[in-house]
């Protein structure tokens, strides 16, 4: 793998099996499975996807809901494995893929900072040293001992983003998480992402806001029905995508 290449995806295909009939409960599922009466329909969430990302680049993933953007990010993070093809990643990843991922809703914000930090590979000492910075950025000083289940989606997003970006990751992955925050916090997150980019972090960014993608990203991948429809410079690909929507 070329040292300049931090993400190398080659002919990646992701396959899911969908039940071809409605099954009302676990009992019926087990009975049908034992009788070998379960019928599945193959669904290709991604098909023959190939691209490379260099260190320090910023890429936007654009496309309609259900096009395969989040599936591709999960493939890069290692959450999913390709049915066919290969995915190689050379560096540490801080993923912000699903709101609340890595949080225990029953635990307080204070406890979840340590839990989420550990999931991201940080030591307890590291979290203790950066605890005040995490809380200050998330603007949650008055809610540290409140269970996460009582947080609004915006509060949870602020905390998740703050923990994920407290250390400079090699790769930062952000999937629609900023859509739930208020404008002021979105601008704050954008500024931090720009600082990380200037420091050499690679960014993969998903947003339905083409303006946000254009502001942060150099290049774009347009995905439609699991296939790459376009790939290249952000202005060219985003314009092609917007024209297709019209």
Burial class (CB in 10 A: 0-12, 13-18, 19+), 179: middle
What's the chain's average pLDDT?
88
How much is the pLDDT for 54? Answer: 95
| Global pTM value | 0.80
Bridging pattern class, strands 5-19 and 84-89: antiparallel
CATH of the domain at 50: 3.40.50.300
Residue-wise pLDDT for 131-182, tens only, equals 999 999 999 999 999 999 999 888 888 898 899 889 888 999 988 766 666 7
Residue bearing the bigger pLDDT, 115 or 30: 115
If you ran DSSP here, which 8-state letter would residue 97 be given? -
Burial class (CB in 10 A: 0-12, 13-18, 19+), 27: exposed
Number of domains the chain is built from: 1
Mean pLDDT value of segment 12-17: 90
Task: Give me the half-sphere count of Cα atoms (radius 13 Å) on the Cβ side of residue 117.
Answer: 23
> Of how many residues is the chain composed?
246
How much is the pLDDT for 68? Answer: 93
How much is the pLDDT for 176? Answer: 75
Full residue range of the structural domain in which residue 127 is found = 5-245
Q: Are 232 and 70 in contact (CB under 8 A)?
A: no
How much is the pLDDT for 41? Answer: 67
Residue bearing the bigger pLDDT, 16 or 88: 88
Residue 184 has pLDDT above 80, yes or no: yes
């Amino acid at each position: 793998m070329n040292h300049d290449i931090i993400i190398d995806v080659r002919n990646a295909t992701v396959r899911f099996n969908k039940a071809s009939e409605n099954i009302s409960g676990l009992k019926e599922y087990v009975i049908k499975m034992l009788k070998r009466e379960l019928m599945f329909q193959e669904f290709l969430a991604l098909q023959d996807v190939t691209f490379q990302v260099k260190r320090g680049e910023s890429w936007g993933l654009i496309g309609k809901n259900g096009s395969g953007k989040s599936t591709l990010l999960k493939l890069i993070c290692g959450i999913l494995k390709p049915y066919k093809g290969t995915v190689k990643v050379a560096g540490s990843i801080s993923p912000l893929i699903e709101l609340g991922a890595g949080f225990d809703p029953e635990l307080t914000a204070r406890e979840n900072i340590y839990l989420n930090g550990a999931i991201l590979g940080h030591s307890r000492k590291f979290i203790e040293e950066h605890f005040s910075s995490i809380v200050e950025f998330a603007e949650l000083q008055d809610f540290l001992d409140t269970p996460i289940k009582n947080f609004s989606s915006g509060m949870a997003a602020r905390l998740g983003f703050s923990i994920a970006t407290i250390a400079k990751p090699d790769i930062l992955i952000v999937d629609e998480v900023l859509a739930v925050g208020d404008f002021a916090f979105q601008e704050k997150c954008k500024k931090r992402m720009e600082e990380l980019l200037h420091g050499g972090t690679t960014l993969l960014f998903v947003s339905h806001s083409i303006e946000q993608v254009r502001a942060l990203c150099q290049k774009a991948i347009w995905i439609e029905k699991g296939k790459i429809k376009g790939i290249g410079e952000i202005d060219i690909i985003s314009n092609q995508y917007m024209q297709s929507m019209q």
